[in-house]
Chain A
Amino acid sequence: MNGPIIKCEQLGKRFGKLEVLRSVDLTIPQGAIVGLLGSNGSGKSTLIKCLLGLLRISSGTASVLDENPWDLSAAGKNRLGYVPQVVHLYPWMKVQQVVDYTSAFYERWDFKWTLEVMQMLEVDGSKWIKTLSTGQLQRLAIILAFGHRPDLLVLDEPAASLDPGGRRALMRSLLEMNRDQGQTVLFSTHITSDLERVASHVAILGNGLVEYFGEIDELKESVKRIRIQSDQDLPTQFTIPGILHSNVTGSTAVVSLAKCSDSLISDIEKQWSATVTVEDLNLEEIFLEMSDV
């Protein structure tokens, strides 16, 4: 299959009068590991639920694994794995029982791989579900979503209640599946350092739409903070293309740019007879610069 794994166009979702998603356009190619970023309440979970058919979209179109998510076939569900933000499991069962029970729903459950992931995430099959902590429940949810080696794995803040060791193990197993079978991953997170290591692409959700989607490397190469030191006073309002934020004090200015390039820098140097230094930003800084705050 060479078409996109996920494709939505002008996807909208409203709850009564509240419009959470206005017009989401997103095309995720096969084999991509996409980190979904967005501030609290930006609609990350809503988008994920729309893509999985857990919520019905209000407008626009969505296609997941070439199917309408609201109408996913059993075959489609067999190719899908989902780790929800809040995990609800059967408290009266033991871990291994839940794993066996879940495996029965899938045609191609991989028991050997499941055991590997259980060891990697250090989950003990003999424990009662009701005794598990939030983090341990999340680990188990990951195992249940991984076991059938889905072609598409969707995780809603999988790292939220994991300790650093658990996060590392999760990222390692995501990378392993992606390497071995070109599996596509979409995961929302606030922990940008996880994303920097693992993701190939980043989608930034804000104002009800995808404000940025692209390769993480391209984002890091194009968003820069520059320091302008001129021999004259600079205007308080700059007109530089793609300006995100600026802070001018007299003849110096600190400006963040969405699309920094050598030619843009030399233009600025010429226009203001200034020296410009360019600063690289990590993903967290980029996310903050691109948010409205």
Chain B
Amino acid sequence: MSISPSFFQVNPSSGVPIFRQIIDQVKALVAAGKLRSGDMLPSTRDVAKTLEVNMMTVSKAYSRLESDGVAERVRGLGMRICAVPISGAVAERKQKFKEIVSPAIHHARQLGLTDDQVLAVVNKILKDNV
């Protein structure tokens, strides 16, 4: 699968450089599971044309994604999303996950959900995301 260049949205007048906005969006799409390993990114030319930005800006974003290990350059084809490498000790990764989940649990309590109800939701998400 490859995504359409219109998946990206940039705000040129924000303080965040445009190439960084593109990097962040690719990473967010990967994190949300909308881009999976093996998916192709649109060509720098198409992205530059669609977003009406300088092509060098898009090339720069893609080069950074490559050096960050998010995507890889495939000759003649373009940029392909890499498999997400698992790094760090289990304890470390658990800690990271805890930081993400804690605010969600807090919200759940505010919504008046019981622990069982929270667990049911989590189990459902785990099942749906195999």
Binding site for B on A (CB under 8 A): 31, 33, 168, 171-172, 175, 178-179, 192-193, 196-200, 216-217, 220-221, 279-285
Contact = CB atoms under 8 A, between A and B. Distances in A.
B17 interface: yes
B67 interface: no
Contacts of B55: 175, 178-179
B57 A217 contact: yes
A217 B18 contact: yes
Contacts, number: 58
A178 B54 contact: yes
Contact of B13 (A199, A200, A221, A282): A282
B52 A175 contact: yes
Given A175-B48, A179-B49, A33 B54 contact: yes
A192 B14 CA distance: 12
Contacts of B19: 217
A198 B19 CA distance: 12
Nearest to A196: B12
Closest 5 CB pairs of A and B: A280-B15, A217-B17, A196-B12, A197-B12, A220-B17
A220 B57 CA distance: 13
B17 A221 contact: yes
Contacts of B13: 192-193, 196, 282-284
A175 B54 CA distance: 6
B94 to A, nearest CB: 27
B29 interface: no
Contact of B57 (A31, A168, A200): A200
A217 B45 CA distance: 19
A279 B17 CA distance: 13
B17 A200 contact: no
A200 B58 CA distance: 11
Interface in B1-50: 12-20, 45, 48-49
A282 B20 CA distance: 13
Contacts of A281: 15
B60 interface: yes
10 contacts: A171-B52, A175-B53, A178-B55, A196-B13, A197-B18, A197-B54, A198-B53, A200-B54, A220-B17, A283-B13
A123 B78 CA distance: 38
Given A179-B49, A200-B57, A279 B15 contact: yes
A205 to B, nearest CB: 21
